[in-house]
Structure 1
Amino acid sequence: MTEQVQPRPFKIEVSSETLQWITNRVQDARVIPDVQHPQGKEWEDGVPSATINGLVEYWKAEFDWRKVEARLNSTYQMFTMPIEEGDEVINLHFVHHRSKRPGAIPLLFSHGWPGNFTEVENLLSLTAPEDPTQQAFHIVAPTLPGFVFSSSPKAPGFGIPQISSVYHQLMQKLGYKQYIAQGGDWGSMVSRAMALAYPESCIAIHINMIMGLPPSPFKNPLTLLWLALRWFTPDEKKRLGRMLWWTKEESGYSRIQGTKPQTISYGLLDSPVGMLAWIREKLEALSQPGYLWDKERVITWTIFYLLSESSWHARIYKEAIPALRTQVLDKRISEKVAFGASCFPYDVGYVPVWWAKATVAKNIVFWKEHSKGGHFPSVECADLLKEDIWNFVGSLPVETQTLLKAAGAVVE
């Protein structure tokens, strides 16, 4: 049904009624006071009321959605396309910036929660690098089904394999028969699922946020022994410790969203300040200490989630997590797909490279452990991520690079 459908240009045009509803809710917001915490413990129980008060006052007095909307529309070349997946038809929203450079490579960028498609903004310059000798890319950045401007599945059962199929179909419909996938958070899982299901097309993936199961005692006994004996370097211990801290201290949201996504969504989508606090809390915990989140960005991301009018921002946790082991983590990516990883110290998913070789991917061609950066490298430290993408592509065999360049030379 959708084979002949062409991408439809998309502009953000939030209705005056919706915008007024949001404005009224913010104007009437009541921010409850926090208890007094010792210095350095202000975030112990969630977002401090001082932080929320500052954001709410900015939202009331200075934030201008229409200016933000105009900037977004001028920054991103956006489209929608209906894509069938099983009994569902997802009207998928996506950014697509074609490079004018000969030999540009198709690159699919996948976001997660609590992010959105605008995480790709600093990577759009990859379409035309300042250095003409550097590799250029065609950038495609879809919005997760049920998030922001992508329509929602109508029934349960729409998890990571279904999302990866939708994204793969998108790339094929755009004419990119072979491509690279890049992502963090849920985007890392979607990228891995694409590499597992479509190795003839998704022939290279680069991810941040690396997760792996313990090595098999039958397939990798020495790696398992190394793991059991805790033979980690001090830096590896620190990174793994952060992941364990996140799981123990910061993952309550995942349990809520993963068990009762509809219930939590009633509250969050009916309260702009509630959604603001829910998102702002995780931005703080997921980024490098001291990183300053721009108020306009935080409010914009909050509004994106309000605009979805959907529980799928939470429901993805219920659909994906229980099956994640069997659908992704238990499976090692074949040697057909080149694998690269960028490890940022304040991210919350990490395994050492020797562990990843045993459980994540057979053909690891690039691995970089950075000394700064967190869960949102395309926002926090985009230059490092871009450099890694270039180096990852430079690590690919010449024949793979040639194939990707040919795939990018599609007819407009």
Structure 2
Amino acid sequence: MPYSTPPFSPTISLEPFTLSIPDNDLDELKTLIRLSRLPKKTYENTHAEEKGFGVGREWLEGTKKYWLEGYDWRKQESRINSQPAFITTVTNSDGLEYKIHFAALFSKRKDAIPIILSHGWPGAFIEFLGLMEVVRSKYSEEELPYHLIFPSTPGYLFSSPPPLDREFSVRDVAYLYDQLMKGLGFGDGYMAQGGDVGSHITNELGRSHNTCKAIHLNMRVFQSPPEGTPESSQPWGIPEFLTRMQKFGYNLEHATRPSTIGLVLGSNPISLLCWIGEKFVEWSDETPPLDTILTFISLYWFCDTFPSSIFSYRYGFGSQRHVQSAEKEYQNTPTGYSYFPKEIVPTPVHFVKTAHNLVWSREHKAGGHFAALEVPETLLDDVEDFVKQVWPEVSK
């Protein structure tokens, strides 16, 4: 397959990966969807959209019908398989082995710049499918100026879940990703990009691993205005990004009751549709097509991903929040930042400057939380402009 040959001899084993969900799993999912009842009508679920109460019953009823009668999983599976993907094994600092799944677009150019792109929640590596398609339409395998790596975060889809007998955090993920990039032959240096949970992974790569030379973010969270900003005297004041953040209490459920919410959503596909579908509808500037939303949810269901995907929330909002205090330290790694106005926490550029060595930024008038999914051309343009500016300096 084009774009599938690493430029150097990897020191880790690479097994080509093809997604193939068994027919029995598809049949079981349809049976569960069909047998899942829709709750009775209430004031809240019949006025959900206009009142901001969450998922509406009418939307759920129509989406359930489409999932059963109109949605074509095999078509989506074929699109996913059109991009090269692999499974490898990397070892953490304690010598424990983890399987890491990733998609990749490798260039034939030996001087191509390695970039690892990390997804968030409730996302997956398929957030970047549109960006991969844009890249392939823009560059041939011989011309591509980058090696692009799109891993599935541990706990998501086909990567190993966090261990059962110890804590596991973003720091662990960053260590594994650094090992992945070195194992692929990029030990002389690479760049990293991410949004949502992926932004925390990317931050940690830049903070703790010298091989990560620069980072680009499309989300940066501050729970209150940082020192050095005009808003710092109003710690819970008027800024739009704080007002919007207060509407998303889901993170406290993930952080404080991860077992309960994991068991609830892992046991019923309609429950999973409500919880995750709501995020794609509300967090996007323009709601993605139902096919896109249902592909994410179907993958989460087939891989039983939800319960193991929310481990990072305890480090931001729950019982382990003190452990990730390094997030508050100044980020010395050269940073680029793309501002999208419909982000769930639309953090102003001048906030980011207080915490990062910000060398590049751009503010957009459209785009939401799922930037790679919603506006892949725009995000690619930003990453390319940032790379052109920073790589000649950091790669010396």
Do both share a fold (TM > 0.5)? yes
> What CA distance in whole angstroms lies between the structure 2 residues aligned with 1:94 and 1:327?
29
Q: Contact 2:154–2:162 (CA<8 Å) still a contact in 1?
A: yes
> What CA distance in whole angstroms lies between the structure 2 residues aligned with 1:399 and 1:62?
51
> What CA distance in whole angstroms lies between the structure 1 residues aligned with 2:274 and 2:87?
30
- 2:149 corresponds to 1:153: no
> What CA distance in whole angstroms lies between the structure 2 residues aligned with 1:163 and 1:323?
16
Q: In structure 1, give the amino acid aligned to 2:30.
A: T
Moved more, 12-21 or 274-283: 12-21
- 2:23 corresponds to 1:13: no
> What CA distance in whole angstroms lies between the structure 2 residues aligned with 1:357 and 1:391?
19
TM score, norm. by length of structure 2: 0.87
Superposition map of 1:54-93 within 5 A? 54-73=62-81, 75-85=82-92, 86=94, 88-93=96-101
- 2:172 corresponds to 1:175: no
Superposition map of 1:226-375 within 5 A? 226-229=230-233, 240-241=239-240, 243-251=241-249, 253-288=250-285, 291-310=286-305, 311-319=307-315, 321=317, 322-323=320-321, 326-334=324-332, 337-358=333-354, 360-361=355-356, 363-375=357-369
> What CA distance in whole angstroms lies between the structure 2 residues aligned with 1:77 and 1:168?
20
Q: Contact 1:100–1:128 (CA<8 Å) still a contact in 2?
A: no
1:45 positional shift: 2.0
**Gapped regions of structure 1 (runs ≥ 5):** 231-235, 404-412
Aligned-partner SS, 1:204: strand
1:154 positional shift: 1.9
Partner of 2:204: 193
Q: Contact 1:340–1:365 (CA<8 Å) still a contact in 2?
A: yes
Q: Contact 2:112–2:145 (CA<8 Å) still a contact in 1?
A: yes
> What CA distance in whole angstroms lies between the structure 2 residues aligned with 1:315 and 1:399?
36
Percent identical residues? 27
Q: Contact 1:99–1:128 (CA<8 Å) still a contact in 2?
A: no
Superposition map of 1:204-243 within 5 A? 204-212=214-222, 223=228, 226-229=230-233, 240-241=239-240, 243=241
> What CA distance in whole angstroms lies between the structure 2 residues aligned with 1:105 and 1:140?
11
Instruction: Say which of 371, 385, 390 aligns to 1:391.
Output: 385
> What CA distance in whole angstroms lies between the structure 2 residues aligned with 1:395 and 1:12?
37
Aligned-partner SS, 1:367: strand
> What CA distance in whole angstroms lies between the structure 2 residues aligned with 1:302 and 1:22?
11
Q: Contact 1:305–1:313 (CA<8 Å) still a contact in 2?
A: no
Partner of 2:58: 50
Residues 202 and 292 (structure 1 numbering): CA distance in 2 closer, same or farther, change over 3 Å?
same
Highest RCO, 1 vs 2 (Cα 8 Å, sep ≥ 6): 1
Residues 42 and 32 (structure 1 numbering): CA distance in 2 closer, same or farther, change over 3 Å?
farther
- 2:135 corresponds to 1:140: no
Residues 68 and 29 (structure 1 numbering): CA distance in 2 closer, same or farther, change over 3 Å?
same
Q: Contact 1:110–1:141 (CA<8 Å) still a contact in 2?
A: yes
Partner of 1:100: 108
1:398 positional shift: 2.6
Deviation string, structure 1 residues 67-97 (Cα, Å, up to 9, x no partner):
3222221x22111112222364221111111
> What CA distance in whole angstroms lies between the structure 2 residues aligned with 1:79 and 1:397?
27
Partner of 1:233: none
**Gapped regions of structure 2 (runs ≥ 5):** 1-9
* Aligned Cα root-mean-square deviation (Å): 2.7
> What CA distance in whole angstroms lies between the structure 2 residues aligned with 1:186 and 1:258?
13
> What CA distance in whole angstroms lies between the structure 2 residues aligned with 1:346 and 1:324?
29
Aligned-partner SS, 1:385: helix
Aligned-partner SS, 2:16: strand
TM score, norm. by length of structure 1: 0.83
> What CA distance in whole angstroms lies between the structure 2 residues aligned with 1:127 and 1:159?
31
Aligned-partner SS, 1:151: coil
> What CA distance in whole angstroms lies between the structure 2 residues aligned with 1:4 and 1:201?
16
Q: Contact 1:99–1:127 (CA<8 Å) still a contact in 2?
A: no
Aligned-partner SS, 1:249: coil
Q: Contact 2:119–2:196 (CA<8 Å) still a contact in 1?
A: yes
- 2:376 corresponds to 1:382: yes
> What CA distance in whole angstroms lies between the structure 1 residues aligned with 2:54 and 2:36?
18
1:161 positional shift: 0.4
Residues 379 and 399 (structure 1 numbering): CA distance in 2 closer, same or farther, change over 3 Å?
same
Q: In structure 1, give the amino acid aligned to 2:231.
A: L
Partner of 2:7: none
Residues 351 and 309 (structure 1 numbering): CA distance in 2 closer, same or farther, change over 3 Å?
closer
Partner of 1:165: 175
1:300 positional shift: 0.9
Q: In structure 1, give the amino acid aligned to 2:199.
A: S
Aligned-partner SS, 2:312: helix
